[in-house]
């Protein structure tokens, strides 16, 4: 298979149209078989549920070329299951999980020429998503849906890759108690757009959202969960019913405990504690683990002891172990790696 002529190591986190995407339609209470198509455009009613009332959810996972030349993906079963949770919360039909994984595999296979080579720093990002497609004007769920999966090669989510970023405590809330923060609904991201544009205009790379009810506890950023390291080397990560259950975070907790022998606390994290941590990172499929060097709370700067030049030592170990598993040079826990070819 000849790879596309792309300068893999210079691509950022953006969309590049690839050859094939998967499309399946839900009508009269059932999903059709779905097809791979070259048509990257979606044609729907002007009154489609997704356009009027944002009835849509998505997932994000990656395919990697391993050191020995295989193409693999990482824990797709967890993405399938999280998308099921998103669909149920949004009154959308579930796409069966086994078929969901099969469709992801088909999309990776059909776009093999776009899977970045080992060592390039890039990966193939896979974006499954679903939306209400038939006309809806009274506020109610759609009757018809489209499930699609496209793939696009991506580089680092934050410019500069592994260089520590600066974030700010955000005055806007991301998710209400008992709301939709725990699922991957498009609406959660729509409402974060003003906050991120405002953060960028003020010189920050990302927002740290606090819990909406008390504004005392750390939740997450617009697209990643937090990992903190205490001065005595413990891993601490916020637990909250209104954050997205990150697959990267769940994997890192396992890596920390079972592979690196670190102590892990998954618990409420008060913002007041943040100044006492030694390291901070953002974790997610897109972010992998991006180190945070500085957190600014209304002019008050918290500078992580790990500094602005490189990742702290514990986060570096977590990063090396996780990416080592994904890139195939460390043994993966049972069931984590799905080999495509």
Which stretches of the chain bind ligand PLP, using CB under 6 A?
A: 60, 220, 223-225, 244, 246-248, 284-285
* Whether 254 contacts 336, CB under 8 Å: no
Q: Which of 62, 106, 184, 317 is catalytic?
A: 184
Closest CA to 151 of 124, 176, 116, 177: 124
Residue 155 near ligand COI by CB under 6 A:
no
Inter-axis angle of helices 76-89 and 247-254, nearest 10: 140
Question: Residue 81 Cβ, how far from ligand PLP at the closest point, in Å?
Answer: 11
Question: Residue 253 Cβ, how far from ligand COI at the closest point, in Å?
Answer: 17
Q: Hey, which residues does 128 pair with through a beta bridge?
A: 149
Stretch touching ligand COI by CB under 6 A, among 87-95, 254-262, 281-289, 311-319? 281-289
Residue 128 near ligand COI by CB under 6 A:
no
Task: Select 26 or 125, whichever has its Cβ closest to ligand PLP.
Answer: 125
Task: Select 286 or 289, whichever has its Cβ closest to ligand COI.
Answer: 286
CA distances from 46 to 42, 52, 116, 145, 153 (A): 12, 9, 37, 14, 31
Which of 120, 285, 306, 326: binder of ligand COI (CB under 6 A)? 285
- The structure tokens listed for 341 are 């070819």
Which of 116, 128, 284, 291: binder of ligand COI (CB under 6 A)? 284
How far from each other are the two terminal CA atoms of the chain, in whole angstroms?
A: 12
CA distances from 120 to 7, 24, 42, 116, 213 (A): 9, 33, 32, 7, 43
* Whether 252 contacts 322, CB under 8 Å: yes
Report the distance separating Cα 262 and Cα 278, nearest Å: 15
Question: Residue 187 Cβ, how far from ligand PLP at the closest point, in Å?
Answer: 12
Question: Residue 230 Cβ, how far from ligand PLP at the closest point, in Å?
Answer: 22
Residue 223 near ligand COI by CB under 6 A:
yes
Verify whether residue 257 is a known catalytic residue.
Answer: no
Task: Select 18 or 144, whichever has its Cβ closest to ligand COI.
Answer: 18
Residues with a catalytic annotation lie at: 184
Q: Note the residues at the interface with ligand COI (CB under 6 A).
A: 60, 223, 284-286
């Amino acid at each position: 298979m000849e790879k596309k002529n792309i300068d893999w190591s210079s691509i950022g986190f953006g969309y590049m149209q690839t050859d094939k995407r998967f499309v399946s339609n839900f009508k009269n209470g059932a999903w059709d078989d779905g097809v791979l198509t070259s048509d990257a455009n979606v044609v729907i009613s002007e009154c489609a549920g997704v356009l009027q009332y944002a009835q849509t959810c998505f997932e994000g996972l990656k395919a990697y070329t391993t050191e020995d030349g295989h193409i693999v993906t990482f824990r797709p079963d967890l993405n399938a299951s999280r998308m099921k949770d998103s669909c149920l919360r949004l009154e959308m039909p579930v796409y069966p999980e086994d078929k969901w994984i099969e469709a992801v595999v088909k999309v990776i296979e059909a776009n093999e020429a776009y899977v970045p080579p080992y060592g390039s720093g890039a990966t193939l990002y896979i974006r499954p998503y679903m939306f209400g497609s038939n006309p809806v004007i009274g506020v109610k769920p759609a009757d018809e849906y489209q499930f699609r999966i496209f793939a696009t090669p991506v580089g680092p989510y934050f410019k500069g890759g592994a260089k520590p970023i600066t974030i700010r405590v955000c005055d806007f809330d991301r998710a209400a108690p008992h709301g939709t923060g725990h699922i991957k609904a498009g609406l959660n991201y729509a409402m974060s757009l003003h906050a991120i544009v405002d953060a960028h205009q003020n010189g920050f790379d990302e927002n740290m959202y606090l819990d909406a009810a008390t504004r005392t506890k750390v939740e997450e950023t617009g697209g990643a969960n937090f990992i903190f390291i205490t001065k005595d080397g413990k891993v601490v990560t916020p637990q909250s019913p209104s954050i997205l259950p990150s697959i990267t975070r769940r994997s890192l907790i396992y890596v920390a405990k079972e592979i690196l022998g670190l102590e892990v606390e998954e618990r409420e994290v008060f913002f007041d504690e943040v100044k006492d941590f030694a390291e901070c990172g953002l974790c997610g499929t897109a972010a992998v683990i991006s180190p945070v060097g500085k957190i600014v709370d209304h002019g008050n700067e918290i500078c992580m002891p790990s500094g602005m030049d490189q990742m702290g030592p514990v986060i570096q170990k977590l990063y090396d172990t996780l990416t080592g598993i994904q890139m195939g040079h460390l043994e993966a826990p049972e069931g984590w790696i799905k080999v495509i070819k």
